[in-house]
Amino acid sequence: MSRAFLLLLAFAAGSPALAAQSLLPRVEGNQLRVTAPRLTFLTGEPLERLQNGASVTYQFELTIREGPSGRTLGRARERFTVSYDLWEERFAITRLGPSTRSVSHLSAAAAEVWFLNNLILTTTRVMPDQSFWIRLEFRAEDPADSASSTDDTGMTLGGLVDIFSRRGPDRRLRGYIEEGPFRLADLRKNRSR
């Protein structure tokens, strides 16, 4: 195999947007939730930061559209702060915002499920027989984005490490999964079986 092909294959395997992923939506009343069994986001630089004692903030956005680039029918955004207990090797998560909620002592897999279980989208603008697409976007915030990570001088330990190691922003975790078409009538039918 050519070197270029191997590089392209490695890039595709490591890219959350290009890797083979699947969104599994479920409807509960007029709320839509998703699971993504093969998606991992407690990995890479964010996991390194957690294991070095820093907290990491993740942003998630779940969107329903009429088509892959169609009109938006609904959107939910959530932010979560994650920390890692070095002794127990478990994660703790706090959902930020008006309805703060926390959980602790989670494995990596359980933490990733908890993120998505707490991302709820209202489907009131979607007709039962209307086709729609779902997009899940996520990213770990850059420590420089968080004012809480700075000391009085405006410098962060992570920032100093980045400066001296000449590490670029390309290691930050971000990605998306988009799938469709779905219909609420089909999702409700599948749930009742």
Q: How confident is the model at residue 31, as a pLDDT?
A: 93
Per-residue pLDDT, 162: 53
Cα 179 to Cα 68: distance, rounded to the nearest angstrom: 8
In contact, 51 and 90? CB cutoff 8 Å:
no
Residues 6+ apart with CB under 8 A from 186: none
pLDDT at site 157: 55
**Across 52-142, where does the E strand assignment appear?**
56-65, 72-85, 90-96, 101-106, 121-122, 131-140
Q: What is the CA radius of gyration of the chain?
A: 19
Cβ neighbors of 126 (< 8 A, separation 6 or more) are: 64, 73, 74, 132, 184
Residue 15, pLDDT score? 43
Which strand (E) or helix (H) includes residue 178? strand 174-183
Strand-by-strand arrangement of the 174-183 sheet: 101-106, 90-96, 72-85, 56-65, 131-140, 174-183
Which pTM was predicted?
Answer: 0.72
CA separation for the pair 193, 184 (Å, rounded): 15
CA distance 177 to 77: 15
Q: What is the mean pLDDT of each run of 10 residues along the chain (193 residues)?
A: 38 42 86 91 91 94 91 94 94 91 94 92 92 94 58 50 49 82 88 62
Burial class (CB in 10 A: 0-12, 13-18, 19+), 116: buried
Written as one letter, the residue type at 179 is E
